[in-house]
Structure 1
Amino acid sequence: MIRLFDIVFSLVGLLLGLPVLLLITLVGFFDTGSPLFRQERVGRHRKPFILVKFRTMKKNTASVASHLAKADDVTPLGRFLRRTKLDELPQLWNVLKGEMSIVGPRPCLFSQEELIAERQQRGVLDARPGITGLAQVNDIDMSTPALLAETDEKMLKNLTVRAYFRYIFMTVAGKGAGDRVPGRD
């Protein structure tokens, strides 16, 4: 049932959000010259996939988790996109393709070995990664791998259709800070 909601919401979101996607893409060209950011992430069953988001940092920024990034690497447009969570909109394409869910554990980098081990131990990697979830609406990020994996496990064990909609609503209503870069966001 949740996969059906993912397909419908991502398709509707991409179609209705097309003007916003195009506007951000256009402004992004002026901000960084390359509005889309693609990065290999850990997917379901540890399968790699390419996550797509709007670029929020300078083009040649090191590929590290947000909590390890330098504050000066975030662009002015990037700060706005992160604060409003609009940088996540292109991930609806990942959802439509079946690589992600709207609700699930945030996909990490393969270099985040401690988090991967914690998630593997708790069965979290058996689920599709998501755009939002319990950890995100409670400001738990990847800087605390054990707590994050524990929170992801709790969310997945209790993920009902009602909880799915609650996490989406909380995210749209502004709960959670999104991916934070120390000193800026």
Structure 2
Amino acid sequence: MISVAVKRKSFGAQTVLQDVNFDIATDERVSIVGPSGVGKSTLLRLIAELDRDYEGQISTVKNSAVVFQEPTLLNWRDVMDNLRITTRKDDRTLENILAEVGLSDKSDMFPSQLSLGQQRRVSLARALAVNPELLILDEPFASLDDEMVDEMLALTKQVVDTRNMALLLVTHTKKEAAFLTDRQLMLGGNPATIIQ
């Protein structure tokens, strides 16, 4: 499904990633684990085709969706409008997805009226609306308290299991990686590479 062969990714004279090679099979759940600042999110952006300035080759699925660490919602639009604008899906489909992430009663609320956990659920709903083959999560549980992390982990696992999607999780927390994924890749070094 996905083949990653990044020979080099640099920002100016600084090489951030070098010789990063791995594959992800259909329906496989893989996490990339490493300390903050090592280059995990940079690698994710390459895989999601949000950054094409690198040496190497990445082949991926046509239909993937990314949930970023920050919810990036339009504060002047309610939840339903946030989903409509970005996904162009009909209201019935969006209502079903909001129910899937436990927000069926929040469709007319604005982001500022939601907790951070609820905003993260809206971001997840937005990603699910495109019915992705691959769901990419970039530190999706950062800044949440332990109880909310556990709740979001359970929800995410349920959604991925129900939809039978491939998953790529970027995290610095081994607990999250172990709960959601079958295989963990460690990113480390300077420049960073897969070290296990």
TM-score by length of 2: 0.27
Which has a greater percent of helix? 1
Work out which structure has the larger RCO, using CA pairs closer than 8 Å and 6 or more positions apart in sequence: 2
Structure with higher Rg: it is 2
Which has a greater percent of strand? 2
TM-score by length of 1: 0.28
